[in-house]
Amino acid sequence: MSSETADSAGTTEKRGAKAARIRELMATEGDAVAENTRGFNAGRYESTGRLDDYEELKAEAREIKEDAIARLPELIEEVKTSVEANGGTVYVADDADDANRYIREVAAECEVERAIKSKSMTSEEIEVNEALAADGVDVVETDLGEWVLQIADEAPSHIVAPAIHKSREGIAELFNERFEPDEPLETAEELTHFAREELGKLVEDAELGMTGANFIAADSGTMLLVTSEGNARKTVAATDTHVAVAGVEKLVPSVEDFAPFAELIGRSGTGQDVTSYLSVLTPPVNSPVPDFGDGDAPLRDTDSDDRAFHLVLIDNGRLAMREDAELTETLYCIRCSACANSCGNFQSVGGHAFGGETYSGGIATGWEAGVEGLDVAAEFNDLCTGCSRCVPACPVGIDIPWINTVVRDRVNRGEADRSQLDWVFEELVPDEEPAGLDVGARLVGNFATLAKWGSRTAPVANRVASFGPARAALERVTGIDRRRELPSFSRESFVDWFERRGGARVPPERATREAIVYPDTATNYANVGRGKATVRALEALDVHVRVPALPDAGRAPLSQGMITTAEEAAHDVYAALAEEIDAGRDVVVIEPSDLALFRREYERFLADAAHERLSGASYDVMEYVYGLLENGGEPEALRGPSGFDAERGVAYHPHCQGRTIGVGEYSTAVLERLDYDVLVSETECCGMAGSFGYKADYYELSMDVGEPLVEQFGGTGRTVVAAGTSCGEQLDALLGSSVRHPVELIAPR
């Protein structure tokens, strides 16, 4: 067997194993994860909707974190001084081994037999439980979810709710088997009461209490602890030695800086207006250690000095992340889990698939890349599809999809070894990526070139793409799942059609506006009908329209982490459109993912002035139609519902990236203005996410993410519309019905 064949077989086997693992998690944990994360996400919308100053609070929180990370070395020195002045000790650990060595020394010096812990992701990161257990210390988690997982010997599946993947029935079975109670435990109340009693007994004999810290004020050593059960307070109060373990990024300048985070963290994570317990303490706390054997002993004493406090600040890659221009935003993370709760893929599989050694959800890629390394991040990085729904959810505005894209690019370059197929790409699709890039990624990343050739050779290309043996070979080599229907290319492109029709029908002198319709790759070579409808709709509203040949926007390569290729595309697009913008022409975009590039990602590729000009001059087609109607355009010039359409109504799924940039609602507004009855989907992302749903590793996951759309739209008989190409493909597969772009409903025939 040749090395190339062996590599291909190994890749196929790896894909199969990943797909099997995802199927297993969807079957065993998916329902519980979906119910809880979707509940948290809905709660976030409700809770933050009650805040008049939500965006201002987010901006303030981000500003505090930006300042704190910029001043981090200074804050570390400041907190050392303040904690030591309070009577405590600060130790800055280089890595996990260093931190555990120090904590073990503290435990040995205090002759600790039992340590109790409140929930702490940082302690999970350094695996302190295992380190202490090796010295014979009995470590007990006091957070209910963490205790359940400790008994089950499982890893957390969620940053905030570690046992989110466990059902009540599963926990009852675990407790009954492990503890053999006199009466079987069944209800949530019975389980909670039992856990409280069992943990209470264990707490009484503990000598050391360990907590994390959500935030630490450098100027005073004061800590903010956010919990849902109050167990952090018990952990601190019940023991005479308190060890707080926290990443150095948890430092903020002062207690006053806690305020926006206290407002945001609960709302963002679980949809609670205020988290059940917000504990602000300046350790070592000034109260006696309770004597559980003496019921008459006082629990209040303002003059106690029998407590010790150790703050262990963890570096473990964080200071290097601070110097990394692309990963530094990861350190702004406040561990709220909003990115996980808003993510369609996470909702289906949870953190046991969408996560690394410690962290889970979209932000996990940044954490795992910085703390564990690229190889760990690479294992789950593909589960971020770039849908961008986590961006507005994040209370500190971290661009999580960009971090995932950067890591993907680094993985590509780190793993790139020249293959026998490289010469094909270098000759036919000369992108800017290194030799050896994964064949599937390179194929998808160069979709614009493939689409151009597919159009030129249609209908032959379409027949080959639907030929069973050809699809089987494509799946084996590139990982493109044979169950997906590939795009059908048009022999005549959108640009060619416009030229053949004779160009614009509305002359400039009679026009209310002049617009360039951007011929995105999907519209130009496959979905030409929506391009034609766009031209007809705009001309009906007296717009002078042009459809010039323009470069591809670069969404496909960006989705594969091919950043250099995407950046070159951004410069090419801007160069091609700059003169049009200078002439006062608007840029109308049909594909939401391309408009999202112009408004969001191009900010990283273009000079500020260039990005502002392109972003400011670019509009979603339905946004543009809405603006025309608001400024005197005649609704009667467009097509409203009639006959069968009027009876059926419309089921509309906004594109995920369109929602993020704030244009998703314009389709609803225009359709309703024309008297369509519109049912809008409640689903953040359909699950197709561009190329993601085509991959054999993720086909079942993609379909599972889209299942809520079937539940909402299936059987309604409504005309299904979606703005995004991939959304249309997914809805077609899920519902078995032809899906139309909103502009196709309103354009005159």
Q: Lowest mean pLDDT: which of 17-21, 97-101, 327-331, 701-705?
A: 17-21
Domain boundary among 318, 344, 361: 318
Task: For the chain, state the CA radius of gyration.
Answer: 28
Query: What pLDDT does residue 295 have?
Result: 59
- Average pLDDT, integer, range 411-423: 60
Does residue 79 carry a pLDDT above 60? yes
Task: Tell me if 573 sits within 8 A of 520, measured CB to CB.
Answer: no
Does residue 645 carry a pLDDT above 70? no
Structure tokens at 661: 């940039």
How far is it, in rounded angstroms, from Cα 264 to Cα 262? 6
Structure tokens at 200: 């209470």
715 in a structural domain: yes
Query: What pLDDT does residue 737 have?
Result: 86
150 in a structural domain: yes
Question: What crossing angle do the helices spanning 608-617 and 592-599 adopt, rounded to 10°?
Answer: 140
- Between 435 and 45, the higher pLDDT residue: 45
DSSP E strands: which ranges in 561-609?
586-589
Query: What pLDDT does residue 445 have?
Result: 86
Domain boundary among 290, 318, 346: 318
In the chain, the number of structural domains is 2
pTM, two decimal places: 0.92
**Token match 């070592």: residue?**
284
How far is it, in rounded angstroms, from Cα 175 to Cα 180? 7
Query: What pLDDT does residue 5 have?
Result: 46
Does residue 435 carry a pLDDT above 70? no
AA letter at 403: I
Three-state helix/strand/coil letters over 140-186: EECCHHHHHHHHHCCCCCCCCCCCCCCCHHHHHHHHHHHHCCCCCCC
- Average pLDDT, integer, range 51-64: 97
- Average pLDDT, integer, range 61-70: 98
Domain boundary among 256, 289, 318: 318
Does residue 422 carry a pLDDT above 90? no
Structure tokens at 75: 């804050």
How far is it, in rounded angstroms, from Cα 142 to Cα 121? 14
- Average pLDDT, integer, range 466-493: 92
- 397 contact partners, CB below 8 Å, separation of at least 6: 58, 59, 62, 391
How far is it, in rounded angstroms, from Cα 573 to Cα 147? 54
Structure tokens at 229: 């059960």
How far is it, in rounded angstroms, from Cα 116 to Cα 123? 12
141 in a structural domain: yes
| Number of residues assigned to the chain | 749
Other CB atoms within a 10 A radius of the CB of residue 616 amount to 12
How far is it, in rounded angstroms, from Cα 464 to Cα 18? 29
722 in a structural domain: yes
474 in a structural domain: no
Task: Tell me if 213 sits within 8 A of 223, measured CB to CB.
Answer: yes
402 in a structural domain: no
The CATH number for 168's domain is 3.40.50.10420
Task: Tell me if 404 sits within 8 A of 365, measured CB to CB.
Answer: yes
Other CB atoms within a 10 A radius of the CB of residue 296 amount to 5
Query: What pLDDT does residue 343 have?
Result: 97
238 in a structural domain: yes
Query: What pLDDT does residue 746 have?
Result: 96
How far is it, in rounded angstroms, from Cα 708 to Cα 686? 9
Q: Predicted confidence band at 182 (pLDDT cuts at 50, 70, 90)?
A: confident
Supply the range of the domain harboring residue 282.
Answer: 25-318
**Token match 């059960």: residue?**
229
Does residue 231 carry a pLDDT above 60? yes
Q: How far is CA 342 from each of CA 388, 392, 497, rounded to the nearest angstrom?
A: 9, 10, 40
473 in a structural domain: no
Q: Which of 606, 605, 673 is nearest to 639 (CA)?
A: 673
- Between 187 and 290, the higher pLDDT residue: 187
Q: Predicted confidence band at 129 (pLDDT cuts at 50, 70, 90)?
A: very high
Element (H, E) at 74: helix 72-86
Q: What angle do CA 132, 134, 139 make, to 5 degrees?
A: 40
One DSSP character per residue, 436-505 reads T--HHHHHHHTHHHHHHHHHHTTTHHHHHHT-HHHHHHHHHHH-B-TTSPPPPPPSS-HHHHHHHTTS-S
Average pLDDT over the chain, rounded to an integer: 92
Going by the DSSP 8-state scheme, the letter that residue 306 receives in this structure is -
- Average pLDDT, integer, range 61-65: 98
